[in-house]
Every structure is written in structure tokens, then in C-alpha cells.
Amino acid sequence: MIKNVVLVFLVIHATLVNSESASKKWLTLNGRGPSVIARGGFSGLFPESSDFANQMAQATSLSDVVVLCNLQLTKDGVGICQGDIRLDNTTNIAMVFENGIKNLQVVQNIFSRPSAFDAMLPISTVDDVRSSNPPAFWLNVQYDAFYTENKLSVANYIQKAARLQGVNYISSPEMGFLKKISGLVNKAKTKLVFVFLDKNATEPTTKQTYGSILGNLATIKTFASGIVVPKDYIWPVNAANYLEAPTSLFSVDGLITDFPPTASEAVACFAQYTDIKPTKEQALIISHNGASGVYAGSTDLAYQQAVEDGADIIDCSVQMSKDGVAFCLDSVDVTADTTAATSFMSLSTTIPEIQESAGIFSFDLSWSDIQTLQPQLTSPFENKGGLPRNPANKDKVSAANTALSNATFDKQSTQKVLIQSEDTSVLSKFKNVPAYSRVLYLKDEISDAPRTPVEEIKKYADAVTLPRFSIVPTVIGFTTATTKVVNEMQAANLSVYVSVLRNEFITLPFDYFSDPTIEIATYTSGIGVDGIITEYPATASRYLRNPCSSNSMPDSSYSIMPAEAGSLLKTVPEETQPPASSPTPALDVADVVDPPLPAVTKPESPPPATTPHSSALQNIANGGFSLVAIMTLTLLPLMCD
């Protein structure tokens, strides 16, 4: 079915971007940008071909977006737009069939997509979709042979529709249908397109496999002016779900997609603009344990990748070994990010003041013990939908980074150093080091930042790091509003960094269209944060160093717009919205000021490395400043040219 086809390869002149400014020539038939074809409108967000889906596709895509309707016929010959001849998964037919088709409403048939719009809107007819006045219209006919057997003529319906409504493209995986319709439409106005299905599937007219037909494109050209192929015809995917070398069989003249804004970004913004330098006004790109979405966090590989991907600042979450060596690792509990559990399980202990669960803590291991561990690439989502990260790199290891060894950051003049901690007592220890910029991490979600606690922050810090939801809160997967916290902090001359941004779609509110670029645009161009902390610096760099990210770049024909927080939630029926919850508290002075650090003392008698350590908060305090302070701060050396 065409629902599984994302790329379209046409041998015809495709619909184009209105204003192409890039000097590089496209490898399309006409040398201009590929068309964006919205399958069922914006069906990645709203039910397929619903009024909302069609309107949103045109509002968020290139100005010449093509809207595709998968044509089905009712028994009385009415043309409707549905992805399959079976209505079980895309409508509420199971509940209302006895009332007749006019009472059916459409639903989202992919469960990871929003269900909040289910049963809101009726099935769209072809007339309904055409009435939205799309720039170009595409009808895809999947089951002509079936309809013919049931004495329904798709050809007659198409002939009338093309004459009265205007149809720019007609496609089908059945050769017989395209040959039949060939003499019934004006080919100067309507292009016929043959759809390839799986290579091993059988084409119903010729009884040949689609794979064998692929070798005889000259035959197709006698009745069609273009073809549609599945993605894997161009980019084969191996058993491990990685792309193999491209086949180079076609050049891409268009893309059929459920997410037309993402395809529009690719065509108008990312495909050709690659060498644009950053400007001073842009938000800083700060890594989170390096490029930890690509390689195991806090390793040389992750940091090198972050630099190559365009990070302005690389970070080090500092931990301490038992013998006082500082090293970079995301957590003081080394079990999650390393292979510690296989060798040091006897050292597992529970320290409620640090975390509820048992762990193996860095301060119970010597530096020589730490060096025997292998870092692991982990995903925060493996237990929330089974999304592993780059499994090919799971066992690619390099030593935990020891960037702090012999460091002289306090004497730097060419590099800026940021010290981050959630503890103001830690930050106060660096007050008299002018080379350091201090950052307070406010890890708990807040809804407001009154003047008094903000002024208290200024005594200890030059900037704050906020979790995403302190800036844009969410409910049932939708953003609700934008808080004033960023404006309140910046009004007090405090820089604001947002943490942590990730690419995986399950971490993104629906307002961002399953597109991490939209989230980045919202925080930077929309809200104006001073920096973003991300596990995928390449994604941020690609956006921030692109003309589509700035309205001051007049040569861009398309702008990646920030989401308007709360606007999508307003379209959700009130009866399906959750009840109002208690408001998130505002920042208070008590949330800012921490008690002084304990005095530095030497442990009386360190236990043998091979015996379990029963350390609790008292033992942590005995480690003094070198342990408590450095375990909680983060060094962020600014990478300068």
C-alpha cells in the first residue's frame, strides 16, 4: 500500500518550491527541489485525510505541497479518502456500523500518534479534500481490480473527478488500471504514476513480481510518466535496521510522507545549506555527556563526536574515585553507564541520600578499578517503548574521560569555563575565580521565578539551567503554555540554558510534530534561551547554522517556525482533556540557598577494595570538599576557534 511508501521518484517535472535560492543544482529531472507529497494531509498528527490533517499540511509545509488521497469507493459510488479498503483501524466503524457510514468518524491508526483527535471528524470525501484548495491534488487507486469485481468503476469516477475537480496526479500499483485510464484523462494536466510495491509482491495485471518489472522501465513509460517506489528500493535496510549502500537506481523527485513539515525542512533547508557559520546572537550548543546519543556518554568518542557535530561547549559531569581522581561520568552510580555490575557487585550498596535504589558508587572504587570498566551506550527510553540507541556503537568503548587531570581551567584566557551545580554552597567556592562562570541547576520544575529568589540566585551564579518543563509545561503529551521563567531570569541578567534535549520522538510533545528541530526552534527562536543542552549536538547545529532558523536571512524560501505552546491542546475536545491539576510551585528562596559544605576531613581507615563499602551520608561528608563539591559540579569548557 502507498501508506508504506515514503519516497516518490518521478520521471516527470515535479511541483517545485516557489523560490529556490541555493546555487547547487538538484539531481532531479528538472533540476529543482523535490516535491513534498502529504499522504492524507498531515496524517502523522491528525487522522488521515481529515479536515484538520489537510489544513495543517498546507499551513506547515512548502507552499506547493501536494495533498494525496488514497481513494476508496462506497457501494453507492461515493469517493472517500482512506488509507485502506478496510475501515476497522482508521474509523470507529465497530461502534456505529448499524447507524450507517454517514455517522463514522476517523481515528488515528498508529498508536504512538495522538489519539486525542479520534472520533472528532467525519470521513472526508474527495470533494471535501478538494474544497480545502490544496496547491496540487493526487489520487491513489489501490484496489481497482476489487472494485471492478464488485461492479464499481473507479475509472468512470476518476474521469469525472479529473474533469470537474482537477487532479494533478493519479497513481496505482495496477498496470491494467493505468492503461485503462490513460485514454480518459488529459495527460497534459494529469500525470499517471505507477506504484511499485514489495519486490516479491505480484502485480495483478501481468502476474509478474514488482522486482522483475523494475528491470523494464521502458514498458512503464508507455502508459505512465512517473513511478513511486518504497524507500528500501533506494536505501536497503539490513537485519540490524541500518541503512546499506544506496542502489543509485533513481534520483528523487519527491517524497510521500505523513509528516510534510519535516520533509519541507529537508528540501528547503537542510539538503543544500551545509557550510553556514554561526552568528554571535545564536544560542550556545552544549553537549550532555558529549554526543551521548551516538556513543557511550562521557567517553573520548562521545566528546570528539560532539566537537565534530558543532557543539560550542562540551561538558563533563565530574565524579571522584576513592583515591581522589576526578573523571567524567553521568552519575555517581556507575552501574547504568558501565560494566561495573559484572565485576564489582559486592560493592553494591544503598545510600538513600543519593538515590533510592542500590548502586555501585564511584567513591567506592579506586581509579585503577574505574579504568577496568567499559562504558556502555544506554538509552533512557529502552524501558519506554524499546527504543535502543545506535546498537552498533553499544560496544564501541573508550576510557572514561579524565579531562580534569592536571587541568588549569582557572588560568584560562582563551577558553571559557562554566561551573554548574544544584548546590549554591558549591558555587560559592568558585566566587573568587574570575575565569569561571557559575551556573545554578534548578532541577525541580517551577512555574514562576519571583524577584526575591532570582536576586538570591545572583549572589551565587551568573546563569541557570532549567528542565524543559519549567519553560514549556505539558499535559497528556501536549504543551500547555510558555512560562515567564526565562524572561524573569534574563531580566535579572541571568543567562538561561535548557536541559536535556533528545531526538527520540517519544520525548517530544505532539506540538513539535515528532521533530526535534521544531523543539529546538521553539526554545531558541521562539523563547530565546541562551543555550540548549543536548545529547545530539548535530541536530542543534544543523538548525542553528541554517538560514531557515533566522528571519534575518532573506534568501531562505522557508522558515522553521517555533511551536505556539498550548495552541494544539485547544483543538482537543474538553471531554477528553484531563482535569486541571494543582499548579507547579513558583521558585522560592528556600529552593535556592543550601547549607554550607562540611569541613574537609581525612577518612580514618579506608576499607580494602575487595570488601563491600557501607558508606552513607557521613562517609560522603568525610570526603570533604573534594568529594561533595566535585561530584556535583559540571565543567563546561567552551570550544573556541
Residue, of 147 and 554, whose pLDDT is higher: 147
pLDDT tier, 615 (very low <50, low <70, confident <90, very high otherwise): very low
The Cα-based distances of 283 to 38, 304, 538, 575 in angstroms read: 32, 21, 14, 39
Please name the amino acid found at residue 104.
L
Find the helix or strand (DSSP H, E) in which 218 lies.
Answer: helix 217-220
CA distance linking residue 173 with residue 144, whole number of Å: 9
CATH class assigned to 284-637:
alpha beta
**DSSP string covering 501-564:** E---GGGS-GGGTT-HHHHHHIIIIII--SEEEES-HHHHHHHHTSGGG-TT-TT-S---PPP-
User: How do residues 326-384 score in pLDDT, each as one tens digit?
Assistant: 999 999 999 988 889 888 998 999 998 888 899 999 999 999 999 998 888 877 776 65
| Residue pair 35/66 in contact by the 8 Å Cβ criterion | yes
Q: What is the rounded average pLDDT of the residues 488-492?
A: 98
pLDDT tens-place string over residues 197-232 = 999 999 999 999 999 999 888 999 999 999 999 999
pLDDT digits (tens, 9 = 90+) for 30-47: 888 999 999 999 999 999
Whether the CA torsion 554, 560, 562, 563 is positive or negative: it is: positive
Q: Any alpha helices (H) in 239-293, and if so which ranges?
A: 260-265
Output the pLDDT for position 304. Answer: 94
Pairing relation of β-strands 478-479 and 474-475?
A: antiparallel
**Residue ranges of the domains in the chain?**
2-86+128-270, 284-637
Backbone φ and ψ of 518, nearest 5°: -65, -40
CA-based nearest residue to 48, from 102, 101, 94, 114: 114
Question: What is the per-residue pLDDT across 248-269, written as a single tens digit (0 to 9) for each?
Answer: 766 789 999 999 999 999 999 9
Distance separating alpha carbons of residues 274 and 535, to the nearest angstrom: 21
pLDDT band at 91 (very low <50, low <70, confident <90, very high): confident
Say whether pLDDT at 405 is over 60.
no
| Burial readout 567-593 (b: 16 or more C-beta within 10 A, e: otherwise) | ebbeebeeeeeeeeeeeeeebeeebbe
| 267 contacts 261 by C-beta, under 8 angstroms | no
Left, alpha or beta for 593 (phi > 0: left; psi -120 to 50: alpha)?
beta
The CA distance from 471 to 482, in Å, is: 6
- Considering 114-118, 190-194, 593-597, the range whose residues carry the highest mean pLDDT is 190-194
Q: Which residue has the cell 574537609?
A: 600
**How far, in Å, CA of 174 to CA of 182, rounded?**
13
Q: Poorest-confidence range of 5-9, 89-93, 618-622? A: 618-622
Distance from C-alpha of 419 to C-alpha of 463, rounded to nearest angstrom:
10
Could you tell me the CA-to-CA distances from 281 to 496, 524, 594 in Å, in that order?
A: 14, 10, 34
Q: Are 154 and 147 contacting, i.e. CB atoms less than 8 angstroms apart? A: yes
What is the sign of the dihedral through the CA atoms of 122, 128, 132 and 138? positive
From the candidate CATH numbers 3.20.20.190, 3.30.390.50, 3.40.50.10490, 3.40.50.10140, the one assigned to the domain spanning 2-86+128-270: 3.20.20.190
Question: Torsions phi, psi of 415, nearest 5?
Answer: -120, 140
Give yes or no for a contact between 228 and 8, defined as CB atoms under 8 angstroms apart.
yes
In the predicted model, is pLDDT for residue 8 greater than 60? no
126 vs 49: CA distance, rounded Å: 9
N residues, the chain: 641
Confidence label for 90 from pLDDT (cuts 50, 70 and 90)? confident
Cα separation, 440 vs 633, in Å, equals 10
The pLDDT value given to residue 414: 60
Q: Give the bridge partners for 326, in sequence order.
A: 320
User: Confidence band (pLDDT; 50, 70, 90) for 577?
Assistant: confident
CB of 37 within 8 A of CB of 257? yes
The CA distance from 231 to 442, in Å, is 44
- Alpha-carbon gap, residue 526 to 547, rounded angstroms: 16
Same fold, 2-86+128-270 and 284-637: yes
| Segment (H or E) for 424 | helix 424-428
Task: Please choose, from the candidates 158, 229, 154, 148, the residue with its C-alpha nearest in 3D space to the C-alpha of residue 189.
Answer: 158
Cis ω for the linkage preceding 500 (within 30 of 0): yes
Q: 422 and 440 in contact (C-beta within 8 Å)?
A: yes
| Among candidate residues 122, 193, 131, 135, the one with its CA nearest the CA of residue 164 | 131
With CA atoms as reference, report the closest residue to 22 among 38, 33, 14.
33
Q: How large is the average pLDDT for residues 376-395?
A: 69
Place of cell 535579572: 492
| Average pLDDT across the chain, whole number | 84
Distance between CA atoms of residues 141 and 176, nearest Å = 12
> Residue 183's CB: how many other CB atoms inside 10 A?
10
Q: Which residues contact 68 (CB under 8 A, 6 or more apart)?
A: 2, 37, 38, 39, 40, 138, 139, 140, 169, 256
Q: Are 627 and 457 in contact (CB under 8 A)?
A: no
For residue 141, give the amino acid letter: V
Per-residue exposure over 267-298, b if at least 16 CB sit within 10 Å of its own CB, e if not: bbbbeebeeeeeeeebbbbbbbbbbbbbbbbb
Q: How confident is the model at residue 582 (pLDDT cuts 50, 70, 90)?
A: confident
Would the pLDDT of 50 be above 60? yes
Directed axis angle between helix 175-182 and helix 154-164, to 10°? 50
